[in-house]
Amino acid sequence: MAGPAPGPTATPPGIGARLGRLGIMLFPALLLFLVAFGPLVTPFSATAFDPAATLRPPGPTYLLGTDEFGRDLFSRIVAGAQPTLLPALASTFIGILFGTATGLAAGFLGGRRDEVIMRAMDVLLSFPALILAMLIIATLGANMVTLVFAIGFVFWPRSARLIRSAAMELARHEFVDAARARGEGTAYIMFREILPNMWGIIVVDFTLRFASAVLLVASLSYLGIGVSPPTPAWGLLVKEGQPLLQLAPWVVIFPCIVIAVVSVGSVMFGEVIRRRLTLPDRRILA
């Protein structure tokens, strides 16, 4: 009965905003390239010592300078994309996969099953993310597989909680009642009626959680948990460089900047996706 909803009054984005958005969309492509081909395109070896070129400041030969063993920092950062981003990507995928399955089941089935599942998730949520990951890695032993498992495990309840509330909200819609009254099976309703309406949420959750996975990997490797030298994981570069902060600040500053750019970029990418996806189905996603 209300009058026409006040339409959006925003002016069309200017050329600058459009370019910015294009940059953000190219961002994941760059990351994927680094993960896939990073170790192949480094100008120098990422791990070999060069006693003749220790602690060089950034310059034309060594773009970002060298560390105390003469290793080229630029090469180390490019090669470090793989050990930093690959576990982040894999663990996000695992966490979201299990989280979606659990959240969908709990949210749609409801009742006692939902309560039991969600209380178990509450227990997992009582650990701060980094600490739970540390605990798991410390017990299972530090390696790449453990790292991926630990972060995926940490994401599981967080993703499940989000998907559950989305599934509950969707399950209240009458199209779900209509399907039930028609005699559709549980699997059909979950996967054909509810899940297609959640892709937007899942994709956005993925991008934002990926950003947080990068942070977790970087923090864990900074703490020396999960990856060990000489792997040039970005967090490890910072940890190793910290004693040299006064002497050769670039050894710390550049890895920090890269971590910041990737993390901020992932968050912004998530935001762009979120805005784009919520437009047509605002009612469902809101």
Partner 1 sequence: MVNFVVRRLAFMVVILVGVSFLTFLIVNVLPGDVATTILGDFASPEQVEALRERLDLDRPVLQRYAEWAAGMVGGDFGVSLKSNQPIGPILWNRLANSLVLAAMGMAVAIPIGIALGVVTAVHRDSLLDRAITATVVVIFALPEYVTGLALIIVFSLEWNLLPASSLVLPGQSLWANPMTLILPVAVVALGMLAYLCQVTRASMIAALNSGYVRTAVLKGLTRRRIVVTHALRNAMIPTLAEIGLGFGYSLGGLVVIETVFSYPGIGQFLVQSIQNRDIPGLQAGVLVVAAAYGIGNLVADVGSLALNPRLRS
Partner 2 sequence: MTGAPGHNLRVEGLSIAYGSGPRTLHAVRDVSFTIARGEAYGLIGESGSGKTTVAFALLNYLRGGVIRGGTIEVAGEDVLAMAPAALRDFRGNRAAMVYQDPMSSLNPAIIVGEQIAEALRRHRGLDRRAAWERAVDLLALVDLPGPAALARRHPHQLSGGQQQRVVIALALSCEPDLLILDEPTTGLDTTTQAVVLDLIGELRQRVRASILFISHNLGVVAETCERIGVLYAGELVEEGPCATVVSRPGHPYTAGLLRSMPRADRAAALRPIPGSLPDLTRPPAGCIFADRCEVASAACREGRPGVRRLAGDHLARCLFPERVADLPAGDAGPLARAQGPAPDDAAASLPKLAIEGLGVTFRQRRGLPLIGRLEETRALDGVSLAVPRGQTLAVVGESGSGKSTLARSVVGLIAAERGGLRFEDKALAPRAAGREPDLLRRIQIIFQNPDGALNPQRRVLDIVGRPLRLYGRAPAAAIPARVEELLALVRLGARFAARFPHELSGGEKQRVNIARVLAADPELIVCDEPTSALDISVQAGVLNQLRELQAESGLTYLFISHDLAVVRTISDTVAVLYLGRVVETGPTATVFAGPHHPYTDSLLAALPEVGRPRRPAVAVPPLPGGTGRGCLFAPRCPQRIPGTCDRLVPPLAATGDGRLMACHVPLAGLAEAQRARDAGGRD
Give residues in contact with partner 1 (CB under 8 A).
Answer: 119-120, 122-124, 126-132, 134-136, 138-141, 211, 215, 218-219, 222-225, 235, 238, 242, 245-246, 249, 252-253, 256, 259-260, 263-264, 266-268
Nearest approach, Cβ of residue 157 and partner 2 (Å)? 16
What contacts 141, CB < 8 A, 6 or more positions away? none
- Candidate residues 2, 15, 52, 286; the one interacting with partner 2 per rule CB under 8 A: 2
- Cβ proximity to partner 2, 160 vs 220, nearer residue: 160
**Which residues, numbered 133-162, are part of the site for partner 2 (CB under 8 A)?**
none
DSSP tag of 38? G
**Which residues, numbered 186-215, are part of the site for partner 2 (CB under 8 A)?**
193, 196-197
**Residues 5-44 as x/- pattern, contact with partner 2 by CB under 8 A:** -xxxx-x---------------------------------
Nearest approach, Cβ of residue 225 and partner 1 (Å)? 6
Please state, in angstroms and rounded to a whole number, the distance separating the CA atoms of residues 221 and 80.
Answer: 11
Burial environment of residue 110 by CB neighbours within 10 A (0 to 12, 13 to 18, 19 or more): middle
Q: Could you say which of partner 1, partner 2, none residue 211 binds, taking C-beta under 5 to 8 angstroms by partner kind? A: partner 1
- Cβ proximity to partner 2, 2 vs 40, nearer residue: 2
Which residues in 152-181 are b (16+ Cβ under 10 Å) and which e? bbbbbbbbbbbbbebbbbbbeeeebeebee
Please state, in angstroms and rounded to a whole number, the distance separating the CA atoms of residues 160 and 252.
Answer: 36
- Cβ proximity to partner 2, 2 vs 29, nearer residue: 2
Please state, in angstroms and rounded to a whole number, the distance separating the CA atoms of residues 91 and 83.
Answer: 12
- Cβ proximity to partner 1, 63 vs 120, nearer residue: 120
Please state, in angstroms and rounded to a whole number, the distance separating the CA atoms of residues 261 and 280.
Answer: 30
Q: Is the preceding omega at residue 230 within 30 degrees of 0, hence cis?
A: yes
